[in-house]
Amino acid sequence: MKKILLYVGLTLGVMTNVNAQSNAKTEKKIDEIINQLTLKEKVAMCHAQSKFSSPGIPRLGIPELWMSDGPHGVRGEINWDDWGYANWTNDSITAFPALTCLAATFNPELSHEYGVAIGEEARFRKKDVLLGPGVNIYRTPLNGRNFEYMGEDPYLASVMVVPYIKGVQENGVAACVKHYALNNQEEWRGHINVNLSDRALYEIYLPAFKAAVEKGHVWSIMGAYNQVRGEHCCHSDLLLNKILKGKWNFDGAVITDWGGTHDTKQAAFNGLDIEMGTWTNGLTASAKFAYDNYFLADPFLKLIQDGEIDESVVDDKVRRILRLMYRTNMNLNRSLGRMNNVEHTQAARKVAADGIVLLKNKNGFFPINPDTNIKIAVIGENATRSMTVGGGSSELKAKYEISPLEGIKNRFKNATILHSIGYASGPSAYGREIPSKLNADSLVKAAVNVASKADVVLFIGGLNKNHFQDCEGGDRKHFELPFGQNELIDKLLKVNSNLGLVLVSGNAVEMPWLSQVKGLMQSWYNGSEAGNALADVISGDVNPSGKLPFSYPVKLNDNAAHYFGELSYPGDSINQYYKEDILVGYRWHDTKKIKPLFAFGYGLSYTDFKISDLNTDKQIYFKGDKIKVSCMLANTGKIKGSEVVQVYIGKPKSKVDRALKELKGFKKVSLDPGKEEQVEIEISVDDLAFYDESISDWNLEKGTYIIYIGNSSDNIIQKQKINIK
């Protein structure tokens, strides 16, 4: 895109165009600015002035910093001082698929395309910081916000988050990776104190954040609401000072989650830079400017004036904020952005179609020939329900949203499409459930009647963005499908066994009907192009290639967090203990031999693939080496398709308990029918280290390791031993 130089009325002398990355010249400029600021002005920069902005310094022409949710699209404008929507008419955007879908693509290039597109929209909307992506690890299928994250595997999330960040930041808009860290449930999220081992912290819950910082060079990071080891994450000495700014050399700004600050001294000393969202009575009832009451406002100022906090503490925060500004709103070289353009629509559709996962396909139930003139009964509320509305802070005001029913109608022009919702969940409202007023029995009756008349039934159900579903601020109460869907599916099957199911959700659900349905697809909250993308896959225009980014347990207790009972999840309201330790997701299923319903990395295609000839370039490796793993991949079916070759590595006879195997590399490869290709995947030997608590550092054990290659965590085709000396 053409770069256009903009004039901005800065009064600090000639501003040079700075690169995205910080450099010595910029640092010097920052010092000069800090020298000109009064203490009051410095403190003012460290906290909000409205729901989504923090102040600049008007007399020096330093601009305000504007932020916006969220990970899947740029949120509609919010009022200055309350959570209401501002009702602007120019803020409808492209809604991109939820990050579970992006993770399911196993396609880092698409992640970059996604990042560029959402970054351009943020820039066009004049946002400096985009509050996303989220990389909290999928620990329990009940977590209401899993749909905003990238699944259960630290390696997958690390690989997928980096290009997203780079894409956003290419626009001079900061990504803000969140929620750092351990916000893995919504229940008691504001205060629950997470207790876990250092190994679980470093090996499972931190790697995606580390990759965001070290490889993605993310410019801002959002602290989490919860506590770890007795300190709130937004001012945790361990997470912010020691790890983020210490070990990882993060040079950007730490922003709180909204209302995540609880203490002035901790906020001052423990690495927080910008305080947002602390409750205020705002501009309405307060006698003085309410934001001055923030922890990092007047109370902070007073402690500095009284000499209890050294001025260098606020200087460091301001330096980071100014650095963030030079990368964003003081970067005169950044592009202008664009919104709702065809490239963004295409990116949204591509990601959505690439991320849909085919889970079951008995006798080739899918694809359904789009030219057919049969009768298709589309049953289920999710066939027509908006999924960009609801869910909490990731809620979007989409310019348009193609529902699954519309997508199917558009593509299956010759078919007769019948529709009946079958069940109803009620409108979505944040923080409360509003039951539907529709009569459940009549809905079931109507749906059964429609199904009985059709040649094919497509049940499109799952979860939605209501409270206690896939929604911020609460966890799901049950593992099973809500709103009577299981009973409804049973009834539909009785009148028409030619039934395929599409689950729209961001979480695994129990599937008592699985053996009886002919086809099953996992779709996600797929944004503006949801229905078109679904129709692409159902019709066979797109051959499915998505893979599950998390395991589906048969029953809730098969999930590691739940296996250990209430203290493990959700805790006793004060503390919780991650008793499963490092054995999260497939690591648990594999190691404990608990068969999942569908495994991490699993997903079918309309064609067949064969993986063979596993090889490594050497047998013996040393620290710092790269392992070149190769195999042959052949498309043995009749149509073009893509397969994700997955490399897992395990260490038998380790001095510590290890998972049987861990994902260490993958590649998505597209192949024409009858073709084969050699696939090479490079793995760093150093990535085989475990976090050794006895030395508080990573430790690369010597000895034999096993390389596993396959197309899901439970479908390993070949194994091979290597040696680390």
Residue 180 touches ligand BGC, criterion: CB under 6 A: no
> For helices 298-305 and 311-327, what crossing angle results, to 10°?
130
Verify cis geometry, omega within 30 degrees of 0, for the bond prior to 290.
Answer: no
Nearer Cβ to ligand BGC, position 179 or 419?
179
| Pairwise CA distance, residues 179 & 149, whole Å | 10
Least distance from ligand BGC to the Cβ atom of residue 102, Å: 17
Burial class (CB in 10 A: 0-12, 13-18, 19+), 491: middle
Nearer Cβ to ligand BGC, position 131 or 272?
131
How far are the Cα atoms of 304, 399, 696 from residue 340, in angstroms, in the given order?
47, 8, 48
Nearer Cβ to ligand BGC, position 273 or 558?
273
Radius of gyration (Cα) for the chain, nearest Å?
26
Least distance from ligand BGC to the Cβ atom of residue 169, Å: 17
Burial class (CB in 10 A: 0-12, 13-18, 19+), 9: exposed
The phi and psi torsions of 311 (rounded to 5 degrees) equal: -60, -25
Q: Which residue in 26, 334, 15, 321 sits closest to 172, CA to CA? A: 334
The residue whose Cβ lies closest to ligand BGC is 393
Among residues 50, 193, 382, 393, which is the contact residue for ligand BGC, using CB under 6 A? 393
Residue 178 touches ligand BGC, criterion: CB under 6 A: yes
Least distance from ligand BGC to the Cβ atom of residue 270, Å: 19
Q: Is 257 a catalytic residue?
A: yes
Nearer Cβ to ligand BGC, position 170 or 395?
395
Least distance from ligand BGC to the Cβ atom of residue 106, Å: 25
Nearer Cβ to ligand BGC, position 70 or 544?
70
Least distance from ligand BGC to the Cβ atom of residue 692, Å: 33
Nearer Cβ to ligand BGC, position 209 or 588?
209
| Pairwise CA distance, residues 408 & 379, whole Å | 12
- Site string (245-264) toward ligand BGC, x via CB under 6 A: ------------xx------
Q: Which residue in 420, 394, 397 sits closest to 495, CA to CA? A: 420
Query: Choosing from 69, 91, 257, 590, which is the catalytic residue?
Result: 257
CB 270 within 8 A of CB 241: yes
Least distance from ligand BGC to the Cβ atom of residue 198, Å: 26
Q: Which residues, 6 or more positions from 675, have their beta carbon under 8 angstroms from its beta carbon?
A: 634, 635
- Site string (43-72) toward ligand BGC, x via CB under 6 A: --------------------------xx--
| Pairwise CA distance, residues 257 & 46, whole Å | 14
Residue 131 touches ligand BGC, criterion: CB under 6 A: yes
The size of the chain, in residues, is 725
How far are the Cα atoms of 560, 629, 697, 700, 702 from residue 723, in angstroms, in the given order?
31, 14, 22, 12, 7
Q: How many residues bind ligand BGC (CB under 6 A)?
A: 7
Residue 710 touches ligand BGC, criterion: CB under 6 A: no
Nearer Cβ to ligand BGC, position 40 or 191?
191
Least distance from ligand BGC to the Cβ atom of residue 258, Å: 4
**Residue positions annotated with a catalytic role:** 257
- Positions in the binding site for ligand BGC (CB under 6 A): 69-70, 131, 178, 257-258, 393
